[in-house]
Amino acid sequence: MGYRPLALGAIALLTFQVCFAQQPSLNLVTFEAPPYQISREGTDIRGETVNTVTCAAKAAGWTTNITMVPQKRAIYSLKRNMADGYFAADPSAELDAIARQSYPVALEKWYFFTLDASPKLSKDRIGVVDGSNEEAWLKANDYNIYLSVTSPKQLLALLERGRINAALMDERVMQDLNTDSGTPAIDSLHSHFLRYAPLHLYLGDVFQVTYPNFLSAFNEALPTCMGKNLQLSERELTHIEVLTRRLLAELRGLLNLQQALKAGPKPSTLAEVLSIDSKWQALAPKAELPLASHILNLPASQTLKNWQGSYQGLITEVMLVDSMGAIAAMSQVTSDYWQGDESKFLEVAGSESTTEPRDRDFLFVSPIRYDQSTTRFQITVSAPLFADGAKTPNGVIVLGLDIEEAMGI
């Protein structure tokens, strides 16, 4: 073997070692909030949001160095450029002035917990954790805070002793307290949904200027990294199913869904559907095919559009899908014509993986999805449609719902 191959091999090995040694590390601060961020013995920091942030940073080519500090100190560290970023923070004017936020890295579900089944929250003595996202939100929205304490466990104790009438905290944090304490009094508490709180990674301006491409790569990886964290809880699923059945019963009173299916376009083959879909996607959302305009002008689509509009933000879209997965009617232009490869269709109409026939009352509720264009969280709920006497569905009705609006009903 000559010297040249050996030299090239040595250079390649040295380059790999240098690149590996110089892999950039993101210095982040966060705060204790089980099960999202948990510190064990001071240095072992883990939890759902920690996993999400670490995963997305890794996808962007970075390692992470995470330090746990109180929330006020975390903001101070970001302001003084002592940290590259801070998570998981609720958006605020204070943070927006000094840093840039990522897409959501976590979705908290905030509830008022009370001893009274029908509290008067505008007058009640509200307790909250000092320096928390909840405290900042309450202040920004003109709630009267009676007490700020250092931990959720203290809030629970004050609530049980009657020192406060209401405690605001995340649902999962309360569940964690219940697991740890096993206090019977928790079972007597009443919960009142307030809002979904999308929490973000905030990156300091200095970091952004130095590494302008990091945030886009980080954001792109987030949906995959969040994974199961956007599943609905059993309580949420029950609420959504009850609400959806009421909405569908109302819609069926306004529109004959079987007639609407028959009045829609009738592509003859799946190949034709896929050909239309490729052209449809190439134009959406800025332009539309003549077929899309035709579908929008159908009487059924006009009914769906007007019905959606009557709910002022709760319903985000409605579509009627035929047995091949193609759009038969819609309240607005969809991003694609063929829905046949998506869970909202497959889980309802059936596929090779769903061998059991769906009954007429079956509902499929999707995980929560973050809509970047509206900065809102949404779900889809789909139900099968059956012709008279049929045992298999000949279509699917799909409702898009704003999950925060839905849970507030």
Largest alpha-carbon pair distance within the chain? 86
pLDDT, tens digit (0-9, with 9 covering 90-100), for 320-362:
999 999 999 999 999 999 999 999 999 998 764 445 556 788 9
Nearest Cα to Cα of residue 345 among 332, 370, 362: 362
Return the number of other C-beta atoms located less than 10 Å from residue 226's C-beta: 23
What pLDDT is recorded for position 18? 41
Query: What phi and psi, each to the nearest 5 degrees, are found at residue 387?
Result: -70, 160
ω into 5 cis (within 30 of 0): no
What pLDDT is recorded for position 79? 94
Q: Which residue ranges of the chain lie beneath pLDDT 50?
A: 1, 3-21, 352-354
Please answer whether residues 310 and 251 qualify as being in contact, where contact means their C-beta atoms are separated by less than 8 angstroms.
Answer: no
What pLDDT is recorded for position 4? 44
What pLDDT is recorded for position 42? 61
Q: Which amino acid is located at 194 in the chain?
A: L
Residue 387 region by backbone torsions, left for phi larger than 0, else alpha for psi between -120 and 50, else beta: beta
What pLDDT is recorded for position 358? 66
Return the number of other C-beta atoms located less than 10 Å from residue 13's C-beta: 10
What pLDDT is recorded for position 85? 97
pLDDT, tens digit (0-9, with 9 covering 90-100), for 41-90:
667 899 999 999 999 999 999 999 999 998 889 999 999 999 999 999 98
Residue 94 region by backbone torsions, left for phi larger than 0, else alpha for psi between -120 and 50, else beta: alpha
Q: What is the DSSP string of 184-198?
A: GGGGG-EEEEEEEEE
Entry pTM? 0.79
3-state secondary structure of 351: strand
Distances (CA, A) of 364 to 199, 240, 307, 352, 382: 27, 11, 21, 17, 5
3-state secondary structure of 369: strand
Nearest Cα to Cα of residue 132 among 116, 113, 148: 148
Q: Which two tokens stand for residue 329?
A: 């009617």
For residue 370, the Cα-to-chain-centroid distance in whole angstroms is 5
Query: What phi and psi, each to the nearest 5 degrees, are found at residue 154?
Result: -65, -40
Cα separation of 106 and 27, whole Å?
Answer: 19
pLDDT, tens digit (0-9, with 9 covering 90-100), for 274-298:
999 999 999 887 788 999 999 999 9
Cα separation of 250 and 185, whole Å?
Answer: 40
What pLDDT is recorded for position 248? 97
* Local structure of residue 286 (DSSP, 8 states): T
